[in-house]
């Protein structure tokens, strides 16, 4: 008998499958998971910039992952987002945001839109966010989601981020979320005087996250931590 009830439940649940998405079923669960993520993964590792913490508390990370991974959205790791790409680990998003020391009136460029999550975090802090994604399907999906979430301060472009986005330069901050083997020259040029760029650089699976600051036209480099990002690819599919 129990089995029949279970089967009936499954039939009903699957019939309403589209309207019973995890986020509708129990939003309070995600609120709790997000708060736990902030405390145990982010604050506990030394992130203390109030703007970064506030943005990470606000953006609903589970909206940016495929529905089958929603239950893992607040875990301490990257997750697949399709097209062999990943959404970064929450701590890395927080760390990269914090080191840029962003202010409200600043203009920031992101290379590697992916799911759009990092762009949303930036848009909670800065008035002007520009983000470039080379994989068309990902860029379009992120653009739609960010519009649905009513972010009017994010501009998404499909293209090769190695070249930057010259017409909107100079940028007060640049954040690169895919890894080239060297620092792209156009990005150095498009960084404003006094501006900061955070970028993973190095070979596949052996990269260093570095913070670059432009002072008197010179780039000053500071290593942060070893990281593992997907490679930055050109339009020909080759690694930079």
Residues that bind ligand SAH in the complex, under the rule CB under 6 A: 85-88, 111-112, 114-115, 117-118, 132-135, 138, 160-162, 177-178, 230, 232-233
Continuous H helices in the chain: 2-15, 22-25, 27-37, 50-58, 90-99, 117-125, 136-148, 185-190
User: CB of 112: closest distance to ligand SAH in angstroms?
Assistant: 3
Q: Minimum distance between the CB of residue 181 and ligand SAH, rounded to whole angstroms? A: 12
Residues marked as catalytic? 88
**Could you give the maximum distance between any two Cα atoms of the chain, in Å?**
77
Nearer to ligand SAH, 99 or 232 (CB): 232
User: Which phi and psi angles does 119 have, rounded to 5°?
Assistant: -60, -40
Name which of 54 and 137 has its Cβ closer to ligand SAH.
137
Tell me whether strands 154-158 and 128-133 are parallel, antiparallel or unpaired.
parallel
- In Å, how far from its chain's centre is CA 191? 20
Q: How far is the CB of 12 from ligand SAH (least distance, A)?
A: 34
DSSP, collapsed to helix, strand or coil, labels residue 152 as coil
User: CB 87 → ligand SAH: shortest distance, Å?
Assistant: 4
Please classify residue 14 by burial: count the beta carbons closer than 10 Å to its beta carbon, then call 0-12 exposed, 13-18 middle and 19+ buried: exposed
Of 111 and 212, CB closest to ligand SAH: 111
Which residue, 8 or 206, is less far from ligand SAH as judged by CB?
A: 206
């Amino acid at each position: 008998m129990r089995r029949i009830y279970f089967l009936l439940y499954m039939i009903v649940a699957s019939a309403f499958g589209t309207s019973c998405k995890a986020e509708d079923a129990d939003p309070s669960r995600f609120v709790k998971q997000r708060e736990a993520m902030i405390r145990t993964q982010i604050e506990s590792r030394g992130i203390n910039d109030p703007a970064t913490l506030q943005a990470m508390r606000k953006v609903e990370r589970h909206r940016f992952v495929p529905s089958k991974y929603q239950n893992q959205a607040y875990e301490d790791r990257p997750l697949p987002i399709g097209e062999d790409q990943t959404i970064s680990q929450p701590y890395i998003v927080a760390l990269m945001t914090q080191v840029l020391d962003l202010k409200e009136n600043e203009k920031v460029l992101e290379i590697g839109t992916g799911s759009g999550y990092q762009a949303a975090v930036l848009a909670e802090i800065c008035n002007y966010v520009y983000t470039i994604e080379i994989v068309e399907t990902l860029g379009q999906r992120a653009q739609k989601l960010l519009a649905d979430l009513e972010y009017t301060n994010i501009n998404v472009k499909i293209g090769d981020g190695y070249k930057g986005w010259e017409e909107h330069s100079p940028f007060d901050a640049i954040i690169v979320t895919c890894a080239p083997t060297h620092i792209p020259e156009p990005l150095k040029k498009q960084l404003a005087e006094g501006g900061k760029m955070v970028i993973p650089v190095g070979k596949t699976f052996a990269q260093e996250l570095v913070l670059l600051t432009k002072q008197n036209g010179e780039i000053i480099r500071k290593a942060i931590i070893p990281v593992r990002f997907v490679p930055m690819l050109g339009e020909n599919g080759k690694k930079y």
